[in-house]
Copies of this chain bind each other. A is one copy, B any other.
Amino acid sequence: MTTPRTRMSPAARRRQLIDLGVEMARDQPLELITMETVAEAAGVSKGLLFHYFESKADFHLCLISEQAQEMLARTEPQEDLGDPIAMLYASVGSYVDYVAANGRGFISVIRGSASADDAIREVAERTRAAMSERILSRAGLLGLERTPAVELAVAGWVAFVEEMLVRWLENPVVSRDELIAIFVGALPSLAGLVSSVTAAD
């Protein structure tokens, strides 16, 4: 560290520790990120770490929330692209790239199953809901009608994307661009299927 520790404000120090945790989460699962390993990597005492975060669970929650926010920011639909399919391609592409770059740690949040912690599961649920809402709020642009059945299908599509992405990261049997094309193509296909199945109502 180039800045002497004593000069850092509490907010800056907290920020630095979270950034370090996010960095550590890139190539290891959350359960390996303990107060010990973080304190050691930051060159601070465990006591100082506990001054900023009341528990390991609290620290993990901060990491996950940070990653979820960052992911949502990077995948924000670019309205200036105009064409909704181009927007979807760009957004899904950024999602795949963000998860690929942030690796194993981020998988914890997107699947929510790596932890029994309710607070973390809630972040995962909120993140999923935000992803779905982005699509549903643009349903018209994508040629879909926003119905409860289509909402259900979009939630299913998010799970489809997560599952394939997690497996793809472990075993990339298709290229990145093929993966993105599958994700983008599946959305209107699934939503269209739902509309046609429920059209008779």
Contact = CB atoms under 8 A, between A and B. Distances in A.
Interface of A: 111-116, 121, 148-149, 151-153, 155-164, 167-168, 171, 173-174, 178, 181-182, 185-186, 189-190, 193-194, 197-198, 201
Given A111-B113, A113-B113, A194 B173 contact: no
A182 B194 contact: yes
A173 B157 CA distance: 16
A95 to B, nearest CB: 15
A152 B167 contact: yes
The 7 closest A-B pairs by CB, nearest first: A159-B163, A113-B113, A116-B116, A148-B173, A156-B164, A160-B160, A156-B160
Given A189-B190, A190-B189, A158 B152 contact: no
B197 A193 contact: no
Given A114-B116, A156-B161, 19 more contacts: A111-B113, A113-B121, A148-B173, A149-B173, A149-B174, A152-B173, A155-B163, A156-B167, A157-B160, A159-B159, A159-B162, A160-B160, A174-B194, A174-B198, A178-B201, A185-B193, A186-B190, A186-B193, A190-B190
Contacts of A148: 171, 173-174
